[in-house]
Chain A
Amino acid sequence: MPSRIPRVIRTNAIVLRHRRLGEADRIVTLLTPLRGKIDVIAKGVLRSKSRMGGHLEPLTLVEVVLAHGRSMDVVTQAQTIDAFPAAHEDLDRLSAAMYLLELADRITVEHAEAEGLHDLLHAALVRLARGDGQQVVQRTFELALLDATGFRPELTDCLRCSNPVPAEEAWWAPVEGGVLCASCARAYTDAQPIDATALRVLRAFQSQTYEEAGRIRLTDELAARMESAMHALMRSVVERDLKSAQFVSAARRARVAGEAREDAGADNAASESDTLDDLAE
């Protein structure tokens, strides 16, 4: 007997993003465990008396009831399960969360089962919200996401000649998806030398458990190097610029500049306007 599409389903979902539809409605993009990424219509959520509005913001785990609609399902009820409030309190964590949402959105196709990805994203958001290091959360999420989608990067052996590559001599090839030895790297125009410590930490993140990875201490500078290598890799996998990745970096730069300025003291008027110029870029 052919299975009928049920009229109403109840599911958990992570809200990835939304866009306006007409005067007061929204199209909300949800990541559900069984039906994958779906667009649904939320009617009237822009009205201040809406009973669902606040529950369907991005970065929320919700329980929703969806009524089967012609082109898109319609949300009839929404209840927040977890809004990850602590992730909203700090810009580094908030921008990291936005990045995880955009990655999850860009790497999935609609209506394909995504239970693994849903669980990965949920776990990463919980870790961010409870105050784990943003670097370890983001990098391990990226690596797990790449594993799950068949893009696992090669971090130890050269992609071309398959010989083990010492971290000090490694080149990073985002389009090819991993490291090259110095002699093979000449054949690739996009390959760049990678910082040895950054590569060692990435190797550790790929091979160790999350708990072990979390014990590695990272400076802002090292974090920035790992971040730029992984952002380049993710950009080549999703084949587009990730605006949230740039925002994560911009947020960190602003913090570092602010801290440096506070350390230096606010007595030098000349350096003051320099900082303003730097920040404005």
Chain B
Amino acid sequence: MNEGRDPFIPGASSPIARLVEAFHRLPGIGPKSAQRLAYHILRSPEAEAQELADALIEVKRSIVFCAQCQNLTSRTPCEICTDSSRDRHSICVVEEPLDVLAIERTGGWSGLYHVLHGVISPSDGVGPEDLKIGELLARLRDLETEVTEIIVATNPNLEGEATAMYLSRLLRPLGIKVTRLARGLPAGADLEYADDVTLGRALEFRQEVL
């Protein structure tokens, strides 16, 4: 790795090299993009750079986990948890905060959420105790009479399936209905290239054409 060692910058510890290196650490930013971003900051007015720096610090200082849904929020309980128009009888369990945004975008969900912040994945060293599962159980204990359905919206892969089934095993004995997102062909897919599991499920859960 020789990021930050721009031929035009003498010494790896120069301020520009430090900035390039900081950008390079971000996901999806390669060495060239990091340099482009750093030089863009250099050329832009100081106020703009200050704004970026303030925003970075503020987001780190003010964003916390919502005490209820564990989503990232600036106030706890978060806006979704306190929204009185939402259905409090069902909770949609997702892996990451970004999944909440994805489901909100569909406009098809009016219940609450719970963010696990990961998924059971032994090959990455993540077990159930590393997720916000204890928090979900504590929450159900508080709201026990209210919640009737948990929708597990983990990804349809090995780790997501394992997490969904584990949650179901914990929650079903409590008399809570546990459901899973349907699995089938994505929009724009091609049957010829669909894997057997997906195509099998798509057939199994087919729907009548109206």
Using a CB–CB distance below 8 Å, which chain B residues touch chain A? 28, 120, 122-129, 133-134, 137-138, 140-141, 157-158, 161-162, 165-166, 168-170, 172-175, 186-190, 193-198, 200
B141 A276 Cβ-Cβ under 8 A? yes
B175 A91 Cβ-Cβ under 8 A? no
A85 B197 Cβ-Cβ under 8 A? yes
Query: Which single member of A58, A85, A276, A280 contacts B158 (CB below 8 Å)?
Result: A58
* A105 proximity list for chain B (CB < 8 A): 123
Query: Which single member of A101, A247, A280 contacts B120 (CB below 8 Å)?
Result: A247
* A99 proximity list for chain B (CB < 8 A): 122
- Further 13 A-B residue pairs, CB within 8 A, beyond A94-B161, A272-B174: A48-B188, A57-B157, A58-B157, A58-B158, A83-B195, A102-B122, A102-B123, A244-B123, A250-B127, A250-B166, A262-B173, A266-B174, A280-B137
The distance in angstroms between the C-alpha atoms of A80 and B3, with both chains bound, is: 40
B169 A258 Cβ-Cβ under 8 A? yes
Ordered nearest first, which 9 A-B pairs have the shortest CB separation? A54-B195, A244-B122, A243-B122, A51-B193, A258-B173, A280-B134, A91-B165, A17-B123, A254-B169
Q: Among A83, A94, A243, which residue has the most Cβ atoms of chain B within 10 A?
A: A243
How many chain A residues touch B (CB < 8 A): the figure is: 49
Contact A251 to B161, CB < 8 A, known contacts A55-B195, A243-B127, A280-B138: no
Give the number of residue pairs across the A-B interface with Cβ within 8 Å.
Answer: 112
The distance in angstroms between the C-alpha atoms of A243 and B128, with both chains bound, is: 10
A85 B122 Cβ-Cβ under 8 A? no
Interface flags for A107-118 (1: CB within 8 Å of B; 0: not) read 000000000000
A54 B138 Cβ-Cβ under 8 A? no
The distance in angstroms between the C-alpha atoms of A40 and B28, with both chains bound, is: 20
B165 A94 Cβ-Cβ under 8 A? yes
Interface members, chain A 141-172 (any B CB < 8 Å): none
* B126 proximity list for chain A (CB < 8 A): 243
Could you tell me the distance in whole angstroms from the C-beta of A58 to the nearest C-beta in chain B?
Answer: 5
Query: Which single member of A57, A58, A95, A266 contacts B175 (CB below 8 Å)?
Result: A266
Could you tell me the distance in whole angstroms from the C-beta of B144 to the nearest C-beta in chain A?
Answer: 8
